[in-house]
Chains A and B, each alone.
Chain A
Amino acid sequence: MNSTQNPQPPASPQPAPKWNDQRIELIIGHLLRSGVLLSAAVVIFGGIVYLVRHGHSIADYRIFHGDISPLRTLPGIFHSTLEFSGRGIIQFGLLLLIATPIARVIFSAVAFAIERDYLYVAFTLAVLAVLACSLAGAALH
């Protein structure tokens, strides 16, 4: 990478971990992209099933009925997906989408642990704990 030797001292004292960071970020970037494309494929599939069956129904979302929807819990989504309901499959795809950045955080925790950067392992686990608290509401119903 460094073709010319600079007479000035390098600005950063540790060039090696920097390079590692870049590699990890690249892997994470691909992970995010794959997660998004996979979930988009599931959403498209569910969307086709939904539109074929319900395309001629009337769409009305003026009044909120979400509080009684079975698709607001993880068991409800899995159940509906297994029943091959279009709305269920879409919601399952959206769940994969929500899981994508969470997978990224888990991967970062591993990456920081490999680098033996325990302060950042702790920060990453803190973020993960907050995310787990948020999803617990949908999981435990």
Chain B
Amino acid sequence: MSVLLFTALILLGSFLAGFLGSLTGLGGGVVIVPLLALVFHVDMRYAIGASLVSVIATSSGAAAAYVREGYSNMRIGMFLEIATTIGAIAGALIAARVSTSTIAIVFGFVLLYSAYLSVRAQPPHPVNEPQDRLARFLRLDGDYPTPQGSEHYTVHRIPLGFGLMFGAGTLSGLLGIGSGAVKVLAMDQAMRIPFKISTTTSNFMIGVTAAASAGVYLARGYIDPGIAMPVVLGALAGSMLGAKVLVNARTRSLRFVFSAVIVALGFEMIFNGFTGRL
């Protein structure tokens, strides 16, 4: 395949991934690596390197839009970034030491889990939990705008959330993804932060987390300009269009279709990992 055709096809694929990822809220990173590895037979290391830089682009590009809504909590984000960035470096160092087949298998299981998280019903937060002393010391509690006016929220179980964030960072560094699903899980389910705050703060954190592993990826030669160029530009354009098309409502049926694609890619990655093809 010529460089011109290769670039054009990857640009188109990444555009679709970014567009659907932003519409469904699942992020484009999860499908870019399987797309490159399974369809274009790109070495896993090049694939995760290109995907990681595209994650920085889409999260930073979306940040301006998210910030205007006034939902993200800078203190929660910065405090938890200590965990995600250390995790990200750990993940990137592990990626250099394990075989690409192992990475493919872990990637497959993360895809399956992301699909499960996206379609299951959200368990409601328990009400009237006592205020957390650590959260008060760290000044993590905040207010957010609702149709009924400004509402106060409190943050809980900080050590658990911090630990999960380390895990999210490790996955991000190991697989070249934003691991937004795990970050939202840590904030929404473990720390009982309102869902809207969790998703916007997570987006804010993804870029910094990815930058931490990007340094390691760069030094190891995982970031190749020939692949990263169409992936970054395609995913960025796709995610920006996705955010324009649908700001508030996230179509449920589209979410199911995209989740089905993710499940299929997950099984494919696991199969190819076990048979040593990736």
Contacts and interface: CB of A to CB of B under 8 A. Distances in A.
B143 A12 contact: yes
A33 B61 contact: yes
Given A58-B2, A120-B75, A130-B82, A87 B226 contact: yes
19 contacts: A29-B66, A35-B60, A57-B3, A59-B6, A68-B221, A72-B220, A90-B228, A91-B225, A97-B53, A98-B211, A127-B82, A130-B85, A131-B85, A131-B211, A131-B215, A134-B88, A134-B214, A137-B215, A141-B219
Contact of A66 (B5, B72, B220): B220
B232 interface: yes
A104 B67 contact: no
B221 A130 contact: no
Contact of B227 (A36, A61, A71): A61
A40 B233 contact: yes
A138 B68 CA distance: 35
B221 A108 contact: no
Interface in A76-111: 86-88, 90-91, 94-95, 97-102, 104-105, 108
Q: Is the interface of B mostly helix, strand, loop or mixed?
A: helix
Contacts of A61: 40-43, 46, 224, 226-227
B39 interface: no
B64 interface: yes
A18 B142 contact: yes
B85 A127 contact: yes
B78 A127 contact: yes
Contacts of B60: 32-33, 35-36, 97, 100-101, 104
Nearest to B225: A90
Contact of A59 (B74, B215, B226): B226
Interface in B163-220: 207-208, 210-216, 218-220
Interface string B74-88: 110011011001101
Interface of B: 1-7, 40-43, 45-46, 49, 53, 56-57, 59-61, 63-68, 70, 72, 74-75, 78-79, 81-82, 85-86, 88-89, 92, 138-139, 142-143, 150-152, 207-208, 210-216, 218-230, 232-233, 236
Contact of B78 (A11, A64, A102, A108): A108
A24 B225 contact: no
Given A104-B60, A105-B208, 7 more contacts: A28-B63, A61-B43, A66-B45, A98-B215, A101-B210, A127-B208, A137-B218
Interface centre among B3, B142, B210, B227 (most CB of A within 10 A): B3
Contacts of A131: 85, 208, 211-212, 215
Interface of A: 11-12, 18, 21-22, 24-26, 28-30, 32-33, 35-36, 39-40, 43-44, 46-47, 50-51, 54-59, 61-69, 71-73, 86-88, 90-91, 94-95, 97-102, 104-105, 108, 112, 117, 119-120, 123-124, 126-127, 130-131, 133-138, 141
B104 to A, nearest CB: 14
B214 A29 contact: no
Contacts of B213: 134
B41 to A, nearest CB: 5
A97 B56 contact: yes
A119 B5 CA distance: 52
Contacts of B220: 66-67, 72
Contacts of B72: 25
A138 B225 contact: no
Contacts of A33: 60-61, 63-64
